[in-house]
Amino acid sequence: MDPKFYKEYYTLERSHWWFKARLVILESVLKNIILKKYNNRIKVLNVGVATGATTEMLMKYSDVTSLEYDKDCCDFLKEKTGIQAVNASLTDLPFKDNEFDLICAFDVIEHIENDSLAIAEINRVLKPKAYYFITVPAFQFLWSNHDVINHHFRRYTKSGINDLFESHKFTIDYSTYFNFWLFFPIALVRFLLNLIPKKSKEITSGSDNEGLNSSGIINSILFRIFRSEKILINRKIKFPVGVSILSIGQKVN
C-alpha cells in the first residue's frame, strides 16, 4: 500500500459507504455464521489489518492477533489506534503450526503474487477443522487504476478462489459474490474512470475511491443499499455476480 494511500485509508475505513457497509456485513457473518461453529472465545489471526477497522470489530468477539506486511502502516496503526500489529507476510507467517481457530483475510490475497503459498500458510497455522474467512475483489474485467494503486496482482472469480482453497485441503462452507445491488453502476464507473487520463502529478493517491466517494444523503443511500445484502448473506443465499467475493471454509484435518 502506498504511504499516501494508507493515510487516506484510515479515514475511508471509517466514513466511506463501501467500507462501512462491508464492515457491517463482515461482522454480521462473523456473528451469525462463523461464531456459531465454536463454543468458546476463539483465537483469531487477522491478516492485512491495514488501519485497524476490522481488528477493532473482531476484538469484540475474539482474541485477535493482527498482521500487516507494510512496516510504515504498522507504525501508523500503532500511533493512531494503539493496535500492535505483527510486521510479516502471509507467505511466511511467524507462527507455529495449528495455532489459530480462525484466520481472516479481508481483501488481502489479491495483493500477494504467490497466492497458492499464502493459502498453504493459512492451512498450516489453522487448527484442524478450523475456519478461514476471506474476501477478495471479483472479475478481472473490473480491473482499474484502483487495483494498480493498491498493488493488486489479480481479481478472482468465485470458482477460481474456491478451487485454490480446495487444492490446499479446505472444504468450502459458503461462498458468494457480494456488493451485488451496486455491481452494474460500479462496473460502469470503473469503465469510465479507465477512460480518463491520469495526471502526471496527483495530490492524492489516485485510488478510484476518490471517484466513488460521496457525502451526505448519497453516502447514506449507498451505505444502506450495500448493507442490506447482509440479510440474504446471513441466510447463505448466493449472489450470481458482485464487485467482491466472500468465502468461508474449513481445514480438512
Residue 182 has pLDDT above 80, yes or no: yes
Average pLDDT over residues 91-108: 98
The confidence score (pLDDT) of residue 32 equals 96
What confidence category does residue 196 fall into, taking pLDDT thresholds of 50, 70 and 90? confident
The confidence score (pLDDT) of residue 113 equals 97
- Strand order of the β-sheet with 126-137 is 86-87, 62-68, 42-47, 100-106, 126-137, 244-251, 170-178
CATH of the domain at 127: 3.40.50.150
Inter-residue contact 176 to 233 (CB < 8 Å): yes
Work out whether strand 86-87 and strand 100-106 pair parallel, antiparallel, or are unpaired.
Answer: unpaired
What confidence category does residue 146 fall into, taking pLDDT thresholds of 50, 70 and 90? confident
The confidence score (pLDDT) of residue 206 equals 47
Range of the domain at 198: 3-251
Average pLDDT over residues 64-78: 94
The single-letter DSSP state of residue 197 is P
Average pLDDT over residues 34-45: 95
DSSP three-state, residue 17: helix
Average pLDDT over residues 208-235: 83
The confidence score (pLDDT) of residue 213 equals 55
What confidence category does residue 1 fall into, taking pLDDT thresholds of 50, 70 and 90? low
How many domains is the chain built from?
Answer: 1
What are the Cα distances from residue 90, in Å, to 23, 73, 121?
A: 22, 15, 7
Comparison of pLDDT for 90 and 3, the residue scoring more: 90
What confidence category does residue 212 fall into, taking pLDDT thresholds of 50, 70 and 90? low
Average pLDDT over residues 200-229: 70
What confidence category does residue 31 fall into, taking pLDDT thresholds of 50, 70 and 90? very high
State the first-to-last Cα distance of the chain, in angstroms, to the nearest integer: 34
Residue 216 has pLDDT above 70, yes or no: yes
